[in-house]
Structure 1
Amino acid sequence: MWSRRQSHLRRVACGVEELRCRRREREAALRKARREQQLVSKRLLREAPEEAPAKGAAAVLGEAEELCLYTLGNLIVESEAVRRQLLPQGIVPALASCIQSPHVAVLEAVGYTLSQLLQAKEAPEKIIPCVLDSTLLQHMLQLMQPGPKLSPGVTVEFAWCLHYIICSQVNNTLLITHGALSTLVLLLLDLAEVVQRMENAGLELLACPVIRCLSNLLAEVAVEDVGGQMQLRDERIVAALFILLEFFLQKQPSLLPEGLWLLNNLTANSPTLCTSLLSLDLIEPLLQLLSLSNVVSVLVLTVLCNVAEKGPAYCQQLWPGPLLPCLLNTMALSDTEVVSQSLELLQLLFFYQPEAAQAFLQQSGLQALEKHQEEVQLQDRVRALRQTALRC
C-alpha cells in the first residue's frame, strides 16, 4: 500500500512548480546580493591595502581566488560552451584544491561555483561522476559538520550542492556510505537548537536544502535499513523537525510542505519514528495544520496514514481524540486528493479500530460520503469505506 502512496507523494512534492520557481527566483536574488557584496569588499580591499592586517598578502590572495570563482560561476551559468571547455581543463580538480583553502570567502565562492556547475543539464552524465570521483564530497561533508567552526554561508552553498547531487541520482548509495545522512541529521538538530535560541536570521536558507537532501535520500532507503546510523531512529529528529515546522508556520509558510515531506519519508517505513510521533504528543499539532492548504493537508494526512497502517496498537493511540472531527471537516472539501487521503486514513482506522467506524456513523459520516459518491476518482473508495463502516 505504501509504495504507491510514496511515489504519488514524490510527484506532488516535486511537481509544485510555482513553489520551486519562487524558491529559485529568491535564491538567485539572494545569491546575486551576496555576490555583489563580496565584489564590493574586494574593491575596497584593493583601494585601501595600507589598512590590511600584517598578514594581508594571504588575505589578498584569498580575495583574488573569492573574485575568480564567482566570475567563473557566472560564466558557467551563462554559457554551455564555457562548461564544455572547463571539464577537460580540470575544473573539478581545481575546485577540489580550492575547497581546502583556509579562507571562508573562498570556500563560499567554491560552493557557489560548484552549485552552478551541478545544475547544468549535462551534469548527471558528465559532471557529477567526476565530482564523486574527486575529494570534493569528502571535504563538503566535513565543512557541513555542526560545530564552532561552522560557517553559515559556506554550509548553505554546499548544502545546495549536495541537493543537486542527490537529485541527479547518480550514486546516492555512495553519499550514504560517506555519512551524508548522519551529517544532514546533525545539521537538522543544530538548526532546531538555533531556532530555540531565537537566532533565526536567514535560517530558511539552510533549512530548505538540508530538509530536501534528507527527504530525497530517505525516498530511496528505509530509515530502519540504514545500518549504523542510529540518529535516524532517535526521536530527537522528530522533535527537531516539529520545532522547525513551527518556525516555518510563523516565519516561512512556503517551507511547510518541505518539512512535512521529510516527516512522511521518515515515518513511511519506521515504526520507531511513528511511535515517537505518538509518545511526544505530536498528532494534535499535525492536525492543526490541516486548514492551511490542500498541499499541506495531503501531506499531513499521508503522515497519519503512515502511523495508522502500522497496526492496531497505533490506531488505538490515534483514537479517540480530535482525529474524527478533523477528518469529517476534510471530507467537506472539494479537493480530490485531500478527500482521497482522508478516505484512506478512515479505511485504516475502521479496519484496526472498529469503534472509529461506529463513531463515524453516529456523526453523520454517511452523509459526508454521499457528497463524493458521484466523483469518478473517488467512487470506489467511497463505496469501500461505506461497506467497511456498515460491517463494523
Structure 2
Amino acid sequence: MWSRLQGRLRPVGCGVEELRRRRREREAELRIARREQQLVSKRLLRDDAPGEAEEGYVIGILGEAEIQQFLHLAKRGTEEKERQRALVRLRRGLQHPETQQTFIWSVLEGSMRTLVGLLTSSQALLQLEAARCLHELSHSEQSAVAEACLPATSYLLTYLSSHSSDFIELCLYTLGNLIVESEAVRRQLLPQGIVPALAACIHSPHLTVLEALGYALSQLLQAKEAPDMIIPSSFAGSSVLGSPLPQHMLRLLQPGPKLTLGLAVEFAWCLHYIICSQVNNTLLITHGALSTLGLLLLDVAGAVLRTEDAGLELVACPVLRCLSNLLTEAAAEAVEEQMQLGDERVMAALFILLQFFLQKQPSLLPEGLWLLNNLTANSPGFCTSLLSLDLIEPLLQLLPVSNVVSALVLTVLCNVAEKGPAYCQHLWPGPLLPSLLGMLALSDTEVVGQSLELLQLLFLYRPEAARAFLQESGLQALGRHEAAAQLQDRVHALQQTALHG
C-alpha cells in the first residue's frame, strides 16, 4: 500500500540517534503516501410513490419521440395532474442508461431547456418532478451528461435556500453527483457561491439535509483543483477554510445523541480531504480537531462493543486517517492539550477497533496501525500505555495477516524500543524473539528490514537479547538475507553487534 525509503544500518557503530534519523526520513515518506483519497462515487436518491407501479408508471427504455412527447405534455398539458404524470413517466424512463443517452442527444432539440423551464415553474409538484429527472440524469455514468446538465446547476444552487427540506436534499445530492463528474460544472458554480450556499445549509435542523450536505461537500473537496482553488481562498467568499464550514463540521462530529452514522461518515471524509490537502491543518487543530476526533474514536470503539453494525468501519476509516495525518503536523503541546482523553483510553479504543477490523474488515488494519505508529512515534506516554495494558501480545498476533500489517506492527515496536532500556525491558524476554525469527524466515525485504532494525535497538539496550538470539540460531536466520542487496549492510551490522556487542 505504501512505498518506503529503506534506511541502511551502518556497520557496527550504529547509534540510537542514527536510527532515529533514518526513521524520521522513512516517516516523511509514509506521510506523503498517506494522502490517499476515497474513490469518488455517486448517490441515487429514489423515493418513488407507493402507487406509481400500480398506476402504470413502470416505463421501459424511451426513444426520442417519447421523450419529446412527455416533455410537451409536461409543458403544455391542460391539467396539473396530467403534466405531473408526464414528468413521472419521463423520470422512470431516465432510470435506463439508454434513455439518458437519447435525452442527451436530444439536448439540441431543446429537451434540457424544457426541463429547466419546468424546474423553474411556479408549481411546486412540477418543480420537484423536474428536479427528480435531473437527479436521475446526474447519476449517469456517461461523462457527457454532467455538462449537458450545466444550464440547470445555477438553479439547483439557488434552491438550496428553499423552505422544503426534501427539495434541498434532492438538490444537494444532484449537485454532488454533477460536481464530481465535471470540471466545467465546478468552474461555473464556484464564482456563483457554492461554498457559501453549502455553508448556509449546515445550519439546517434536518439530519437528511446535513447528510446530503456532507456528501456534496465531500464530492467538491475531492476535485483535483481543490487544494489550490476550493479549500484555500482563490474565489472571493468561496474558500472552504475561510467559511464557517470547518468549525460547524467539528461541532456536528461531537459525540452525542444527535450524531448519526451517516452524518459522521460524510463529515469525517470531508475533514479527511481537507487535511490531505495540507493547506492549513494548523487552523483545524486550533479549532479543536484533535480533541473532537479523539472523542469520536472513543465513541466508535464503544459502539463496536455494543453492536454488530457492519457500517461502523465506514466512519472508523476516515477518523483514523484524519487523526493519523494531523498527528504528523501537530506540535507536541497541541497533542497533549487536546488529547487529554487518557493515554490508556485512546490505546484501548484503538485496540478494540483493531480486533474489530481483524474479524470483520482486515483490509482496514493498516489504518489503525498507522495511527498507532503516529501515536507512539514521539510519545513515551502512549508507549507506556501500550505496555501497561499488556498489548504487545495482541499486537504480535497481527503479524501473520499480511506483509503490510507485519511491517507496521514492527514499526510500532521500534517506536517503543527506541524509547530506551526501561521500555525494552518490557519487550524482552517475552514472545518477541520467536516472532522476530518467524519474520526473518520471510522473503519480503520491508518486513525483514523492520525486523533487523528492531533487533538492533534491542541489542543496543538489552545486550542479553543478543545472546538469546544467538542461542536460537539467529545467525542462520540472518544468513538467509546476506545476498539481498537492500539488506546486506544491515545484516552484516546486526551480525557484528550480536557477536561483539
**How far, CA to CA, are the matches of 2:299 and 2:352 in structure 1?**
11
Deviating more after overlay: 268-277 vs 232-241: 232-241
Deviating more after overlay: 196-205 vs 80-89: 196-205
The CA deviation at 1:11 is 5.4
Label 1:171 to 1:245 Cα distance change in 2 as closer, same or farther (>3 A): same
Q: Does 2:436 correspond to 1:333?
A: no
Aligned to 1:154: 263
Label 1:44 to 1:390 Cα distance change in 2 as closer, same or farther (>3 A): farther
Aligned to 1:6: 27
Aligned to 1:210: 319
Q: What count of residue pairs does the alignment treat as equivalent?
A: 369
Label 1:318 to 1:42 Cα distance change in 2 as closer, same or farther (>3 A): farther
Aligned to 1:352: 461
Aligned to 1:108: 211
Any idea what the Cα deviations from partners look like across 1:68-94, whole Å, max 9, x if unmatched?
111111110111111011111010110
Aligned to 1:253: 362
Unaligned runs of 5+ in 1: 50-57
Label 1:127 to 1:11 Cα distance change in 2 as closer, same or farther (>3 A): closer
Q: Does 2:187 correspond to 1:84?
A: yes
Contact 1:42 1:63 survives alignment (8 Å):
no
Contact 2:324 2:371 survives alignment (8 Å):
yes
**How far, CA to CA, are the matches of 1:79 and 1:168 in structure 2?**
20
Give the partner amino acid of 2:340.
Q
Any idea what the Cα deviations from partners look like across 1:342-372, whole Å, max 9, x if unmatched?
0000000000001100000000000011111
1:67 partner SS:
helix
Aligned to 1:67: 170
The CA deviation at 1:235 is 1.5
Give the partner amino acid of 1:366.
L
**How far, CA to CA, are the matches of 1:178 and 1:149 in structure 2?**
21
Aligned to 1:280: 389
Choose from 225, 237, 246 the match for 1:122.
225
Identity of aligned residues (%): 73
Give the partner amino acid of 2:431.
P
1:345 partner SS:
helix
Choose from 18, 36, 39 the match for 2:46.
39
The CA deviation at 1:13 is 5.1
Aligned to 2:411: 302
Any idea what the Cα deviations from partners look like across 1:217-242, whole Å, max 9, x if unmatched?
11223555535214365221010000
Contact 1:289 1:300 survives alignment (8 Å):
yes
**How far, CA to CA, are the matches of 2:471 and 2:34 in structure 1?**
36
Label 1:42 to 1:153 Cα distance change in 2 as closer, same or farther (>3 A): farther
1:132 partner SS:
coil
**How far, CA to CA, are the matches of 1:93 and 1:100 in structure 2?**
12
**How far, CA to CA, are the matches of 2:472 and 2:433 in structure 1?**
9
Q: Which runs of 4+ in 1 moved over 3 A?
A: 8-15, 41-47, 222-225
Give the partner amino acid of 2:167.
A
Q: Does 2:246 correspond to 1:137?
A: yes
**How far, CA to CA, are the matches of 1:73 and 1:357 in structure 2?**
59
Give the partner amino acid of 2:304.
V
2:443 partner SS:
coil
The CA deviation at 1:59 is 11
The CA deviation at 1:138 is 1.1
**How far, CA to CA, are the matches of 1:299 and 1:166 in structure 2?**
22
Contact 1:13 1:258 survives alignment (8 Å):
no
Any idea what the Cα deviations from partners look like across 1:130-166, whole Å, max 9, x if unmatched?
0010011111111110001112111110100000000
Any idea what the Cα deviations from partners look like across 1:52-80, whole Å, max 9, x if unmatched?
xxxxxx99800000101111111101111
**How far, CA to CA, are the matches of 1:68 and 1:44 in structure 2?**
24
Label 1:100 to 1:13 Cα distance change in 2 as closer, same or farther (>3 A): closer
**How far, CA to CA, are the matches of 1:42 and 1:157 in structure 2?**
27
Contact 2:294 2:339 survives alignment (8 Å):
no
Q: Does 2:197 correspond to 1:94?
A: yes
Any idea what the Cα deviations from partners look like across 1:107-147, whole Å, max 9, x if unmatched?
11111110010011110111002001001111111111000
Unaligned runs of 5+ in 2: 1-19, 53-83, 86-123, 125-160, 233-238
Q: Which has the higher helix share?
A: 1
The CA deviation at 1:41 is 6.3
Q: Does 2:256 correspond to 1:235?
A: no
Q: Does 2:286 correspond to 1:177?
A: yes
**How far, CA to CA, are the matches of 1:63 and 1:106 in structure 2?**
8
Label 1:354 to 1:94 Cα distance change in 2 as closer, same or farther (>3 A): same
**How far, CA to CA, are the matches of 1:302 and 1:119 in structure 2?**
30
RMSD, aligned CA = 2.3
Give the partner amino acid of 1:216.
N
Label 1:338 to 1:14 Cα distance change in 2 as closer, same or farther (>3 A): farther
Q: Does 2:275 correspond to 1:166?
A: yes
Contact 1:343 1:382 survives alignment (8 Å):
yes
Give the partner amino acid of 1:342.
S
The CA deviation at 1:377 is 0.5
**How far, CA to CA, are the matches of 1:194 and 1:164 in structure 2?**
25
The CA deviation at 1:199 is 4.2
1:321 partner SS:
coil
Aligned to 2:377: 268
Any idea what the Cα deviations from partners look like across 1:217-275, whole Å, max 9, x if unmatched?
11223555535214365221010000000000000011000000000001000000000
Give the partner amino acid of 2:210.
L
